Amino acid sequence: MHKDISEILFDEERLKNITKEIACHINADYAGRSLVVVGVLKGSFVFLADLFRRLTVDCTLDFIAASSYGSGTVSSGSVQIKKDISADVKDKHVLLVEDILDTGNTLSYIGEYISRKGAASVKLCTLLDKPSRRIKPINADYIGAKIDDVFIVGYGLDYDERYRNLPYIGVLKPQIYTH
């Protein structure tokens, strides 16, 4: 069934290696410091689970949910916080973990939102970066891989809440979302 909906872009082994490499950089950068890791739901949860298990620094975990997509394939540009963090981030180092950075609307909004809560620093980690779609002038501090402007699913990424459970990341075949 999976082959009928997408073409594999990143297989499980590649995702494991990407996650390991990012974790090594984060561990080096935050050695001796505490870190509040904030996953951006829902898309980041699979990547975040794998990444979090590889972190050796003192860290806590929280989640925030925001969206600018709804059920479409194109960002609306209007970001809404659907679930706020519960952690007090005042004077703490925060790492926002996202599945994909494309327009930058959501991560830019959340980064500013967390900064206004008094965080000592806010850094961004994204599994995938799609710079050709950037609208906001934002760059991630930790990037797993850059990709072209294709619609992808799997490993937590979805189309209309489907396909998050794929163990790989694949390019969604257009006939799935253009019917």
Which tens digit of pLDDT belongs to each residue from 30-54? Answer: 999 999 999 999 999 999 999 999 9
Catalytic residue IDs: 102
Domain ranges of the chain: 12-147
DSSP H/E element including 62: strand 58-67
Tokens of 151: 């619609």
What CATH number belongs to 12-147? Answer: 3.40.50.2020
Q: What pLDDT score does 76 carry?
A: 55
Note the pTM of the prediction, 2 decimals. 0.91
Residue pointed to by tokens 């965080």: 119
